[in-house]
Structure formats: C-alpha cells, structure tokens
Structure 1
Amino acid sequence: MTLAKLTSVAVLALALGACQSVFQPNMRTPLEVKREAWEHIKPGCNNTDCPLVNIDTIHFPAQPKLDALVERRLLQMTQDNNRTAPPTSLKAYEDQFLRDAESRNSSYLQAKVREQHDGLVIIELSSYLDTGGAHGMPGRGFINYSRQQDKVLTLQDMLLPGQEEAFWQQAQLAHKSWLASTKMDQDPDFVKTWPFRKTPHIALTYGALVLKYEVYTIAPYSMGHTELKIPYPRLNGILKPELFPGRG
C-alpha cells in the first residue's frame, strides 16, 4: 500500500472517530437534570392543619423516557397497598388526594439523582404518607438506569447467570456487619425479632452496592431506612464485570 493510500486510510479513520464522538453520547458527561418542586394545600382550607401535597421531582431534558419512568415510579409509591390502578399523573394524584384528605393529612413525594457514573443514573425515590395514624409511613426506592442499554436494570440484569444465591449470601454478610456496627448483635431479642430479609431496593452507587430497607423490615420504625453496603471486591464473580465502577 502506498504512502498516499495509508494517509487516506488514516484520515478516514480519524473522520469516522470524530463522527462517532459527535453522534454518540459521552457517558462520562452527566445527564442534565432539572428540578421541579411545589406544595399545595386543599382548596378553600384556611387553617393551620390543612391537608397538603408536596412534590419534589426531577426532569431529564435529553431523556423524556426517563422522565416518564420517574413519574410512574413515584405514582406507584402512592398506592399504600391499594390494588387499584395508580393515578395517571402527579397532578391527578394531587387533585385526588386533596379532594379526599382530612385535616392534618399530608403526602410527600421526592425523586433525586443520587449519583451518575459509568453511564449509570442512580435515582432515589422517597415518599411519606400521613393519613392520621400514630405516625406517617415513609417509603423508598431506587432506579438504576443504564444509558448504554437505555433501560432500568433489574437484579437479574446486574448479576452473572446463576449468582443470585451468592449475591444474597454477600448481603447477609453485610447485614452481620451492620448489626455489629450498631451493636445490635449484642441484643439477642433484636436479632431474633429482626432477622435478615431480602429487599428490592438495590443501588449501584460508586462506593459500594447499596441495599435499602423499608421501615419495619429488618429494624423498628425508629431506626428509619436501614442501608446495607456490599463492597465491590466481594462481588467479583457475582456482579457483571462491566457494572463495576471504572469498568463501564
């Protein structure tokens, strides 16, 4: 091949690389996020105990699909164990809640980006519903959104085939570490009353894989939402290699 042809091939390769960098998103550049927040009380109510709805959510201008997903997940958190279909929008939920709410009732919904790294967007969802009991009920959830795959990752998407049992064994070790750090392992009644359980709330955060628990799952209400952390080195051979931070 002549020098002129080699030069032409090199120029073409550079041009193709430039085109790819233009048309493919840079996964190291975080997605743009915009916050939207509001609080409204029941129409016509003028006292200090008016029912209210507080919504604090996020939007992704470049990812309308992710926008819709966040709203859908927040709406699912409003169900409070009801089997009816969730409201069609946050505005519809607000109207419905305020129409039926009694004095001092309140509902809070929040979505926030906890982290962005390696082409992953980790979104944390929070809720708090007070309908007049001894205390309100908080809720939590995660979205692990892969920009490369354009989808929300389930636990099965995260793990290598056949490694789910090994994953939960590592989670149990994290639970034992948590018991020791809180000194709850020295209380036999606590250990018996609040044994280890699985959770659907899993996040691929940069520092460690996080498992978050609803209140009353592995600890009493007063201890809030317990977080267990599994260091990534313990997940070698369990978690898909491309999901380790820095390897994406």
Structure 2
Amino acid sequence: MNQLTFLGTGDAMGVPRVYCDCEVCMEARLTGENRRKRSSVLIHEGGHVRDRYEDRRFMIDCGPDWRSQMEDQGIRMVHTLLITHAHFDHIGGLPEWADACRWLGVKGKLYAPREVIVTIQAQFPWLARHMDFLETDDGIEVGGWSIRSWKVCHGHNGYSYAYRLEREGYAWAYCSDAIDLKKQEKVLLYGLDLLVLGTSFVHELAEFSTRSVYDMQEAQELLRELQPRQTYFTHMSHDVDVRQNYSLDQGITVALTGMTVKLG
C-alpha cells in the first residue's frame, strides 16, 4: 500500500515567520501545533517511511527545510524528486540533496517539466554532476505511478505545475501553488480520489492581482466543482491556525506536518 507523508505544509515563509509575533507564530514557537516547514510530500510504500522499499519512494519538491524534514522522519536519503516549479521554497534544498548524492556516491533523479529544469540549471549549473534531469512533459512512470504534469496559474508569481498520479485505478493530484484556474487547467483535477491543494490564507484580503495561491473560501468553491473524494489543504501561512474549526466542507482536512494518508 502506497502512502503519502506531509513533510511540510507551510507557505514560502514557513511558520513561525521569523519577524512575526502574531498569535499563530507565537503558538508555533511555544507549543508547535502551528509550526510549519515549507511544503513537501513523501510518497512511500509500506507501513513507515523507513522501510525496505526505499528505492520506490520519492518526494515532491525540495525546499530549504529538506535536511530537517529528512531528520524529522529518520531517513537518510531519497533518490528521486519531482519539482513543481523553480521558486526558492520548492528548490532551496537541492544543493543539500546534491551534496548527499555526492557523499553517498549516487546519481539522484530530478523530474520536472522542461522549462523548470532549464531554470534550475541556470540557478545551480553544478547540480548536473550529481543528478540526472528528466523531463515530465510527455508523462513519466515513477515508483509504479503513471504521472502527468501540466502548467497552472500561480497568479502574481507566474506559473507552477501540478501533478496527477495514477496507479491501479487510484488517482490523486498535487497542486500546491495555484489560483484562478481556467477550464483547461482543471481538466486533470476531475475524477480524483485525493487532491492536495495549496491554500495560503483562510480568507485573503489582498488585492486579487497581487495574489498567488487560493484561499480556503475560494478553494472550497473550486472543490464543489471538482468533487474529489478527499482533499488536504497545504502551503498554509501564519493566517491559518490549525487549532481552529473553520467549518470546512465535508471531505476536507487541514494537513499537519508528519501526517500520513493512504493512497489507495
């Protein structure tokens, strides 16, 4: 049975924000229920991430918290990554991952859409010594999953990519950074057993043209259209207090760091 573990559920700044003394950030420092590292997930087989199927596990995104996320789970290496886009909170851990590849004498596999690979290679031209860059544009097979990627609107921040993964009649998608999706961008989000969706705020008041990720109110409107069987909200800022009951629609769960869910 494949499983998904949330390694991080925070937005680009994480929680607590270093400069902030709001109630959520202070609680995150003191008791930690709201402590959130940058968003990333691990897909693995078996009852625990530390199992004999390490060659089948892979991560989606590799932000600047990669090292501490690995330590949190008690695992020493992941050989395969999927990257959604080349923003720092999604690729900031790549140099550390590359260094792990170097020390262990392995060649990592980094999967991403072609234009994302080009951007990563421009930022970190030396990474190719320690990993293979593999394009996802025409579909890929990883860990027994058939995977498709497609571009989605990231609002003021340009674009990101979402992934749809299918295996043995089960379909789920990862869409951490998106807003104002158009008809064609939503096609692969129908017919899902599970959707991981980014929602940075409960209700964001900033002018719409300056925004980059759905808030929870907008996300629920989207979900009423898409109707996935199960949804997990991630990529949450310090506006979200996991201790609160936001009266979300049935089937929606606010993801917590370390939470594991079954894929199938």
| TM-score between the two structures when normalised by the length of structure 1 | 0.23
| TM-score between the two structures when normalised by the length of structure 2 | 0.22
Greater fraction helix: 1
Task: Work out which structure has the larger RCO, using CA pairs closer than 8 Å and 6 or more positions apart in sequence.
Answer: 2
